[in-house]
Amino acid sequence: MTRRARLWVLLTGGAGLAVLLVAACLRLPHFGGDRHPYGDRAVHASLARRTANTISSVNFDQRAFDTLGEMTILFAAVLGCVVLLRQTQDERRARPEPADVARPVRRYALLVLPVALLTGLYIVAHGQLSPGGGFQGGVVAATALHLLYLGADYAALERVRPVGRYEVGDALASSAYVVTGIAGLIGGTAFLANTLLPYGTFNTLSSGGTVPLLNAAIGMEVACAVVVLLARFLDQAVEIEEESGR
């Protein structure tokens, strides 16, 4: 295909896409309106199952299968990272020297660490009630642990973070999500159907049927996945060196 022909194909495709996009945008609901056909139905369904946070109801009840897909993507991405960033034959591990940390940085990091960790766990635990959920809280809790690297040094971080256990935790949490789904299939009506557990009292920690369970599984999965991911990156950045003379 000549350059000119390729350009024409590109322009035709681009123009078609632009027309479709404009046509779709013209039929969107107006910006900032307080009514939306999908929003109204989602809120109704979420209230019927006594889940206070509609977003969590969408994520872990109405669209729980989508969340399974997203969890699998994260799991596969972290798995790929672990395989790609492993220590190869021509690399060796060098113990990083204990680093001097400025006093204010150390004080700040050690002060904020427990607060950040608790905030992360709170966001996971209250995913079905208030904004947030397993994903957000998991990332917060996992990154909070790494304040130890800022406040102390790499050796201290490695002591509180046995990567092997987090890898097992990641796999366990992923399976817990699938097992809860299968439980819905066996005891209820369909895979991941929220018909198994009582819905409980509205706006309490145990309300929403399987939503808190799936939310906790995602929280654990994401926290473990982020810790493993950061551990691989930190290993490469701090510890692993190329064998010299190659």
Partner 1 sequence: MADAVIVVALLLVAASATVAVATRDPMRQALVLAVLGVVLAVLFTVLQAPDVGLSQLAVGSALTPLLLMLAVRKIRRRGREKEGER
Q: How far is the CB of 222 from partner 1 (least distance, A)?
A: 9
Which position among 123, 129, 213, 228 is part of the footprint of partner 1 (CB under 8 A)?
123
Which position among 136, 172, 199, 206 is part of the footprint of partner 1 (CB under 8 A)?
136
Residue 245 has phi, psi (to 5 degrees) of 85, 15
d(CA 204, CA 126): 9
Give me the residues paired with residue 91 across strands: 242
d(CA 49, CA 212): 12
Which position among 143, 171, 183, 191 is part of the footprint of partner 1 (CB under 8 A)?
143
First to last CA, the chain: 44
Q: Does 89 bind partner 1 (CB under 8 A)?
A: no
Q: How far is the CB of 146 from partner 1 (least distance, A)?
A: 7
Decide if 240 contacts 96 (C-beta within 8 A): no
Which position among 16, 98, 131, 162 is part of the footprint of partner 1 (CB under 8 A)?
131
List the one residue out of 71, 42, 54, 56 whose CA is nearest residue 211.
Answer: 56
Could you say which DSSP state residue 241 is in?
Answer: E
Build a one-symbol-per-residue string for 8-47: x at contacts with partner 1 by CB under 8 A, - elsewhere. Answer: ------------------------x---------------
Q: CA torsion 139→145→149→153, rounded to 10°? A: -160
Using CB under 8 A, which residues numbered 188 to 207 contact partner 1? none
Instruction: Give 85 or 178: the residue with its C-beta nearer to partner 1.
Output: 85
Q: Does 73 bind partner 1 (CB under 8 A)?
A: no
Q: Does 237 bind partner 1 (CB under 8 A)?
A: yes
Q: Does 177 bind partner 1 (CB under 8 A)?
A: no
Angle between helices 163-187 and 211-234 (to 10 degrees): 160
Q: Which residues of the chain form contacts with partner 1 (CB under 8 A)?
A: 32, 53, 55, 123, 131-133, 135-136, 139-140, 143, 146, 226, 229-230, 233-234, 236-237, 241-242, 244-245
